[in-house]
Amino acid sequence: MSAAEHGRGAEALDTTLGRVVVVVPTYNEAGNLRQVVGRLRRAAPEVDVLVVDDGSPDGTGDIAEELAAKDPQLAVVHRSTKMGLGAAYLHGFRVALARGYDVIGEMDADGSHQPEQLHRLMSALPGADLVIGSRWTRGGSVVNWPRWRQALSRGGNLYTRRLLGIPVRDATGGFRLYRRTTLEAIDLSRVESTGYCFQADLAWRVLQAGLLVCEVPIDFVERVRGDSKMTPGVAAESLRRITLWGLRERRDRIGRVLSKERRRRSETPVGRGERR
């Protein structure tokens, strides 16, 4: 993201979509939360913020409460233990749905997602059910990532795209906007993934429901403070789960084809002189 865009401030967002909230999960983000929330509130003053803290031992939850005490558009949900990124998002989504929001977004608390680019996602939502801020679509970029991280992300997304048969180039991207109706359509109670494969899982479910996913380019910036939660081991576990989903989907697809063929044969009249 250019310095000019960083300092541009609020963009005119489409408010015809209804009430909008961005869910920000946190775990040990005391060094980042104030800045990220401040940037988000300046870039999108119409948008509410819901921080979901997983019992951060570094005091992140206290910082969130301090910010919420001064800002009626910021709310905080505390969970007692760290149970995974996907679990935190699911909790936040359920809270947002219960509070009547029409658009529910998500973004990281480490500064990697640029709040000043939220308007890009909002602009695309009128024509989509889920909008993903994409690093790997044309015009997207990553900043300050080592080559192994780029290769891991590109390769993982290519593998996901091919195995699950979905057209999304950045299925693991976590800067998103969902319509309320989208989250209701995919039945969050059936989502079991809790780690980094959660993003691919939801994108896949949205597409399986016959809904439209749109990707817009974003500039993803590596965190400056704190430690990344992504490791090769975490990525490997996510790919393992995606492999199981893909194999199960192919098995089910073959089963549907065979079942259809059996029905067709059973319904085909037997001609004179023919034997079954």
**Which CATH number belongs to the domain containing residue 232 in this structure?**
3.90.550.10
Query: Would residue 275 count as lying in a domain?
Result: no
Which pLDDT score is estimated for 192? Answer: 78
Which pLDDT score is estimated for 7? Answer: 45
Report the distance separating Cα 3 and Cα 213, nearest Å.
30
* Among the listed residues 183, 171, 38, 10, the one whose alpha carbon sits nearest the alpha carbon of residue 100: 183
Which pLDDT score is estimated for 167? Answer: 95
Which pLDDT score is estimated for 244? Answer: 72
* Among the listed residues 188, 186, 166, the one whose alpha carbon sits nearest the alpha carbon of residue 249: 166
Domain range for 150 is 3-265
Query: Would residue 272 count as lying in a domain?
Result: no
Query: Would residue 242 count as lying in a domain?
Result: yes
Query: Would residue 183 count as lying in a domain?
Result: yes
Which pLDDT score is estimated for 276? Answer: 44
Which pLDDT score is estimated for 194? Answer: 73
Please state the domain count of the chain. Answer: 1
CA 222 vs CA 14, 49, 111, 162, 226: distances in Å: 28, 22, 8, 27, 11
Query: Would residue 270 count as lying in a domain?
Result: no
CB 26 within 8 A of CB 52: yes
Query: Would residue 220 count as lying in a domain?
Result: yes
Report the first-to-last Cα separation within the chain, whole angstroms.
69
Query: Would residue 170 count as lying in a domain?
Result: yes
Residues of the chain with pLDDT under 70: 1-15, 225-239, 241-242, 245-247, 249-261, 268-276
Query: Would residue 271 count as lying in a domain?
Result: no
pLDDT tens column, 42-94: 999 999 999 999 999 999 999 999 999 999 999 999 999 888 889 999 999 99
